[in-house]
C-alpha cells in the first residue's frame, strides 16, 4: 500500500527505502521508525547475532521487537564489507539511503579518543628513520601496530563504501550514502572524502550531527566489554555521498 503522508526526521522520511548498518542496540533505527509511525521502509542490520545483541545491550531485544512490530526487516550477522551477498538486504541499486553511524574497527587496547588508536603518520615516519638508535625494538613494533590500527579504521569505512555503492540508487535517482563521524582531530585524519573518492563516491554535503535530533537514540561503543556504554559524540557530522557518474 502506498504511503500518502510524508513524515520526516532530519534527512530521512517514510517514503525512502533506508538501509541501516552497524546498528548497536537498534535505537537509531527505532528513532526513525517512531517518527514515521512505521518501519516498513527500513532494513536495520547489525554484525552481531541475535544472541550477542541480547547479551550485550540491555535494550536491544525490546528495541528489535518494537521495530519488527512496526514492520522493520531486522537482519543479524551483516558484515558491511559483504552486504551484497545478503539477498534479504534487497537488490542492487534499490536503496534511497544507506546509513552507517560512527563506524569503528574496535579496540585491542586504548580508548577510542586516544591518538595511538587512530593515528600513525608522524609516529611511524620517525620510527622508520630511527627504529633502534633512539627508541629500541619495542617502540619500532609499537609504530607498526599504530600503523595497522589506523588502517583498520580506514579499511572498515572503505569496504563499507564499496559495498554500499552497489546497493544505493544512482545519483540521478537521488541515492545517498550517509556516514556519521566525528570531525575533530584525530578523527578528521580518517579522510572520509578521500576514501569515498577511491570508491567512486562524491562528498556532496557535510551537516552537523546532533544526538538530540533523534529522540531515543543512544550511541554505543560496541567493543571490549563496553558494548552498552555510550561515548561522547563531540563535534560530529553526517557526511553525505553520492555515486560519481564516471567511475
CATH number of the domain that residue 39 is part of: 3.40.50.150
Point out the least confidently predicted range of 106-115, 206-215, 224-233: 106-115
The answer to whether residue 33 sits within a structural domain is yes
> Any residues with CB less than 8 A from the CB of 129 and at least 6 apart, and which?
none
Angle at 50 between CA 44 and CA 52, to 5 degrees: 115
pLDDT above 70 (res 115)? no
Q: Which residues pair with 176 in a beta bridge?
A: 97
Angle at 194 between CA 191 and CA 200, to 5 degrees: 140
The string of DSSP letters for 79-105 reads -GGGGGG-GGG-STT-BSEEEEES---
The answer to whether residue 150 sits within a structural domain is no
The answer to whether residue 151 sits within a structural domain is no
- How sure is the predictor about 28, in pLDDT bands with cuts at 50, 70 and 90? very high
The residue-averaged pLDDT of 219-229 equals 74
The C-alpha atoms of residue 78 and residue 246 are separated, in whole angstroms, by 29
The answer to whether residue 142 sits within a structural domain is no
The C-alpha atoms of residue 140 and residue 183 are separated, in whole angstroms, by 29
The C-alpha atoms of residue 243 and residue 203 are separated, in whole angstroms, by 9
Residue 235 main-chain phi, psi, to 5 deg = -85, 115
pLDDT above 50 (res 133)? no
Q: Which domain range does residue 63 map to?
A: 8-107+157-243
pLDDT above 50 (res 66)? yes
Q: Which helix (H) or strand (E) holds 195?
A: helix 192-198
The answer to whether residue 64 sits within a structural domain is yes
Angle at 201 between CA 195 and CA 202, to 5 degrees: 100
- In order of 115, 182, 217, 245, the CA distances from 210 in angstroms are 24, 11, 11, 31
| pLDDT value, residue 50 | 97
> What is the 3-state secondary structure of 98-125?
EEEECCCCCCCCCCCCCHHHHCCHHHHH
Q: How many domains does the chain have?
A: 1
The answer to whether residue 13 sits within a structural domain is yes
The answer to whether residue 86 sits within a structural domain is yes
The answer to whether residue 29 sits within a structural domain is yes
pTM of the model: 0.84
C-alpha cell, 159: 569496504
Q: Find the helix packing angle between 121-129 and 136-167, rounded to 10°.
A: 140
**123 versus 42: which is more confidently predicted?**
42
Amino acid at each position: 500500500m502506498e504511503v500518502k503522508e510524508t513524515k520526516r526526521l532530519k534527512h530521512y522520511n517514510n517514503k525512502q527505502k533506508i538501509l541501516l548498518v552497524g546498528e548497536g542496540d537498534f535505537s537509531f533505527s527505532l528513532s526513525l521508525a517512531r517518527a514515521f509511525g512505521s518501519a516498513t521502509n527500513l532494513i536495520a542490520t547489525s554484525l552481531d547475532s541475535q544472541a550477542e545483541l541480547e547479551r550485550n545491550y540491555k535494550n536491544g531485544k525490546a528495541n528489535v521487537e518494537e521495530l519488527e512490530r512496526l514492520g522493520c526487516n531486522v537482519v543479524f550477522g551483516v558484515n558491511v564489507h559483504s552486504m551484497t551477498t545478503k539477498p534479504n538486504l534487497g537488490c542492487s541499486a534499490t536503496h534511497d539511503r544507506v546509513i552507517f553511524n560512527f563506524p569503528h574497527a574496535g579496540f585491542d587496547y586504548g580508548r577510542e579518543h586516544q591518538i595511538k588508536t587512530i593515528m600513525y603518520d608522524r609516529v611511524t615516519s620517525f620510527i622508520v628513520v630511527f627504529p633502534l638508535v633512539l627508541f629500541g625494538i619495542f617502540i619500532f613494533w609499537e609504530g607498526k601496530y599504530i600503523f595497522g590500527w589506523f588502517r583498520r579504521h580506514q579499511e572498515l569505512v572503505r569496504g563499507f563504501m564499496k559495498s554500499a555503492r552497489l546497493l544505493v540508487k544512482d545519483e540521478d535517482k537521488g541515492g545517498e550514502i550517509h556516514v556519521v563521524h566525528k570531525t575533530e582531530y584525530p578523527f578528521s585524519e580518517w579522510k572520509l572524502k578521500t576514501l569515498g573518492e577511491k570508491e567512486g563516491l562524491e562528498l556532496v554535503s557535510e551537516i552537523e550531527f546532533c544526538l538530540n535530533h533523534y529522540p531515543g537514540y543512544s550511541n554505543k561503543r560496541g567493543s571490549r566489554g563496553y558494548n552498552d556504554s555510550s561515548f561522547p559524540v563531540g563535534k560530529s557530522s553526517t557526511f553525505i555521498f553520492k555515486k560519481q557518474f564516471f567511475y
